[in-house]
Structure 1
């Protein structure tokens, strides 16, 4: 660690830097993080604190950093070296000079400052990963601006249990509130959109959309089977322009209909709003799925589609009526 660069940032800063170590008794990784913490001992304009983080929710051991006496919003289960060193220096600079502006797009800054729901965003990184440092820097900047955000940088080599927990096959991976898993580089605008919508119903569609884009059909199916109230959001994905999402939504509903006979009525209710869609492809997909259902209510719906102006839709409806449930 180039301590002189840290010393220079501290000297030019307007606030002190607070560094914390949440230790976990018996975990050898506490020693690794403590070695990094000790490099800050004796530096001017730095306070160093170690405490025993006994609550499992703390996910110890970890390092935490904050500006002055403010609450820590930046957590590291990693030792920032190599490619991760520059993003860490940037974080130290931002925490000690919080009045710096222009660190994000103006629209991003405005959106983050209006967030009120506390959100935790984790970035899983690995060694020699060229894109990980970009995502580390991005989420660190987001948490500097957004006071309701907590950023957590996790090295999956040092903490492999996180890779297993989130079924990560590649890094970087960004985890929003333990649910959304975004792999690879996530653009500033896209990450902002995710965070803005997280408190809304839109987040449900976003979760399934991302799973289907990344071909995580098993994960999406497991969620939908345990949360049938999500059916309207999944059905709405038939309107998606992205072919992979549309095709995945059809496959997801096919599998659900095949394996869960008691859910057919709720699937029908979710599909009905799509029958008036201006896109014949959307109507055709909905008609195909209706044809799979063992529910007598599908009969008048499919009969009405026999007169649809698009021949393909009418043919799909006719095939669906061959089995009247």
Structure 2
């Protein structure tokens, strides 16, 4: 059974036709039967990649060379890479369903265009000026309407600066991480393993200010 309805497929196909420029390379990581949502996630990615030839999907297993090279130890995981296979820092951990489905589509379009199209020049320059390694873990649930905004901020920062990694983490699928970082409400952005955090969907400038403080 298709995960994406026929009308939505037509809408997305048209969106890609009008907005995609370069190729988009997606690496999907699965853990077989041990992973509750891996099959559903792969089906979503298969259907998306079938809508435009510029979207390239590669399927990998945890524990294999590619997973170790990119440091992926959880599944389902979605990682965007460049044409040389290098990590672009845009990650999804958990199924991109509900409101996060649109986040995935928007990320594909941005990456195809070599970066975010809807950030101001001042914000872009501040992001590019980050000179330390930054990890942004954004905890979400698929039914949260405010979560995509927070994920997009993290992902757009990663697109603009190779020192930044933005991770969407589905809080219910990865309860151990939710407990580790005391996630009681979403979205919650954890910066550098808890050096700073932000609850709620906020403008990129707020996250930038917190990054500067750590």
TM, length-normalised to structure 1: 0.55
Partners of 2:145 and 2:23 in 1: CA distance: 31
Secondary structure in 1 matching 2:53: coil
Q: 1:119 to 1:40 in 2, by over 3 A?
A: same
- Choose the corresponding residue for 2:28, options 21, 24, 29: 21
Alignment of 1:25-104 (within 5 A): 25=32, 26-42=34-50, 43-54=52-63, 55=68, 57-61=71-75, 62-66=77-81, 68-69=83-84, 71-98=87-114, 101=117, 103-104=118-119
Secondary structure in 2 matching 1:19: strand
User: Do 1:15 and 1:67's aligned partners in 2 also have CA atoms closer than 8 Å?
Assistant: no
Alignment of 1:242-261 (within 5 A): none
Larger radius of gyration: 1
Q: 1:159 to 1:142 in 2, by over 3 A?
A: same
User: Do 1:124 and 1:154's aligned partners in 2 also have CA atoms closer than 8 Å?
Assistant: yes
Partners of 1:121 and 1:31 in 2: CA distance: 26
Partners of 2:11 and 2:83 in 1: CA distance: 19
Partners of 1:143 and 1:196 in 2: CA distance: 16
Question: Which residue is equivalent to 1:252?
Answer: none
Question: Which residue is equivalent to 2:204?
Answer: 188
TM, length-normalised to structure 2: 0.80
Greater relative CO, 1 or 2 (CA 8 Å, sep 6+):
2
Secondary structure in 2 matching 1:82: coil
Structure 1 or 2: larger helix share?
1
Give the root-mean-square deviation of aligned CA atoms.
Answer: 2.4
Question: Which residue is equivalent to 1:176?
Answer: 191
Gaps of at least 5 residues in structure 1 are 198-202, 204-325
Deviation, 1:79, is: 2.5
Secondary structure in 1 matching 2:92: strand
Question: Which residue is equivalent to 1:7?
Answer: 13
Partners of 2:11 and 2:185 in 1: CA distance: 31
Deviation, 1:143, is: 1.8
Choose 55-64 or 128-137, whichever is displaced more.
55-64
Partners of 2:164 and 2:170 in 1: CA distance: 20
Deviation, 1:166, is: 1.0
Partners of 1:167 and 1:116 in 2: CA distance: 28
Choose 140-149 or 33-42, whichever is displaced more.
33-42
Secondary structure in 1 matching 2:87: coil
Gaps of at least 5 residues in structure 2 are none
Question: Which residue is equivalent to 1:149?
Answer: 164
Alignment of 1:158-307 (within 5 A): 158-179=173-194, 180-197=196-213, 203=214
Question: Which residue is equivalent to 1:113?
Answer: 128
User: Do 1:10 and 1:44's aligned partners in 2 also have CA atoms closer than 8 Å?
Assistant: no
Which stretches of structure 1, 4 residues or longer, exceed 4 Å deviation after superposition?
67-70
User: Do 2:24 and 2:108's aligned partners in 1 also have CA atoms closer than 8 Å?
Assistant: yes
Q: 1:100 to 1:163 in 2, by over 3 A?
A: closer
Partners of 1:194 and 1:7 in 2: CA distance: 38
Secondary structure in 2 matching 1:178: helix
Deviation, 1:100, is: 6.0
User: Do 1:124 and 1:171's aligned partners in 2 also have CA atoms closer than 8 Å?
Assistant: yes
How big is each residue's C-alpha offset from its partner over 1:127-178, in whole Å with a ceiling of 9 and x where there is no partner? Answer: 3222212212222222222222111111112222221121111111001111
